[in-house]
Amino acid sequence: MPPPRVLVFQHAPYCPLETFGEFLADDGIDPEIVELNKGENIPNLEPFDALIVLGGPMDVWETAAHPWLISEKAAVRQWVRTFDRPMLGICLGHQLLADALGGEVSRAKTPEADLCNIMLSESGQKHPLMHGFGKSKQAINFHGCEVTRLPADGVRLASTFDCPNAAFYAGSAAFGIQYHAEASHTLVNEWTDLAPGKSLVEQLHGEDGVMRVRNRVAGAMPEIKDNAKRLYRNFMNLACNGRD
C-alpha cells in the first residue's frame, strides 16, 4: 500500500511542521503544504487521507484581516462532517477545529507560554491517540486564546492547570491539541525572539522569563521529542487504519 496522502494547512513561516516534518520524511511521506497566509488555495480534499492544521499568530475570528480563514474553516468542517477522516489541529488548528464544528474560542483567562504538564482525562487515557502516555506528559504551550466550549460531540482528552480543553476529539478521528507537540527548542527560541512572543513570556514570567523558559524547554527536549514521535505515530496509525 502506498503511503498516506497528507494535506497540511500552514499559517506562518515560523509555525511549520518542524519535528512532524522530520517524522513524515522518515516515513517516506511528502505532504502537500498549503501556505494560506501567502494566498495559496485549498485543493480538492477528496484525494487526501489525513489533514494537519498548524499554529499561527492570528485568531479564529480575524476573518477581515485574514479572509482565507473562512474557506479554511469550511474545509475543516467538510473534512470532519462530510469525509470523517483523520485530522490533527495544533494550537490555532485546535481552535479552528472547535470553531468550525460549533464550539467557542475566546481570549484565555491565563495565557500559556512555557513547558507545561499535559494531564490526560479518563477518556484521554483510554484513547488510541494518547496510547503510551499514562496520566500525563510534558509539552510546549504558546497561546493567548483557548477553546472555551467544545463542539456538541467534542470529548475532552487532556487539560493543563490553566487550560481545561488542552486536547479534544470530535467525529471519529478529528483531534485538536492546544499545545505544540511539533515544536523544537529552535522554534521556541524563534518565537521568543519575535516581539509578540517575547512580550507574552515577559508578561507571564518576568524580565528574565525568556531565558528561563528557553532553559526549561532545552532541558526537557529529549522527552518532548519522544512525546512528539509517539503522538505522531499514534495519529498516523489512526490515519492508516482508516484507509480503504
Per-residue confidence (pLDDT) for residue 1, from 0 to 100: 77
Report whether pLDDT(242) > 80: no
Q: Is 190 exposed, middle or buried (0-12, 13-18, 19+ CB in 10 A)?
A: middle
Q: Is residue 49 domain-resident?
A: yes
Segment 206-213 long-range contacts (CB within 8 Å, at least 24 positions apart): 213/113, 213/114, 213/115, 213/188
Catalytic residue among 11, 66, 94, 180: 180
β 87-90/50-53 pair status? parallel
Q: How far apart are CA 195 and CA 200, in angstroms?
A: 9
Q: How confident is the model at residue 243 (pLDDT cuts 50, 70, 90)?
A: low
Which of 99-108 are b and which e, b meaning 16 or more Cβ less than 10 Å from the residue's Cβ? bbbebebeeb
* 10-37 pLDDT per residue, tens: 999 999 999 999 999 999 999 999 999 9
Active site residue 116: no
Q: Whole-number mean pLDDT of the chain?
A: 96
Per-residue confidence (pLDDT) for residue 102, from 0 to 100: 97
Q: pLDDT exceeding 70 applies to what percent of the chain?
A: 99
CA contacts within 13 A on the Cβ side of 10: 20
Report whether pLDDT(149) > 60: yes
Report whether pLDDT(85) > 90: yes
Residue 123 belongs to domain with CATH number? 3.40.50.880
Per-residue confidence (pLDDT) for residue 241, from 0 to 100: 79
Per-residue confidence (pLDDT) for residue 190, from 0 to 100: 97
Active site residue 146: no
Active site residue 145: no
Over residues 104-121, the mean pLDDT reads 96
Catalytic residue among 91, 116, 143, 146: 91
Regarding pTM above 0.85, the answer is yes
Q: How far apart are CA 140 and CA 120, in angstroms?
A: 15
Q: Is residue 1 domain-resident?
A: no
Q: pLDDT exceeding 90 applies to what percent of the chain?
A: 96
What residue numbers bound the domain in which 159 lies? 6-241
- Residue 103 has which C-alpha cell? 464550539
Q: How many domains does the chain have?
A: 1
Q: Are 190 and 14 in contact (CB under 8 A)?
A: yes
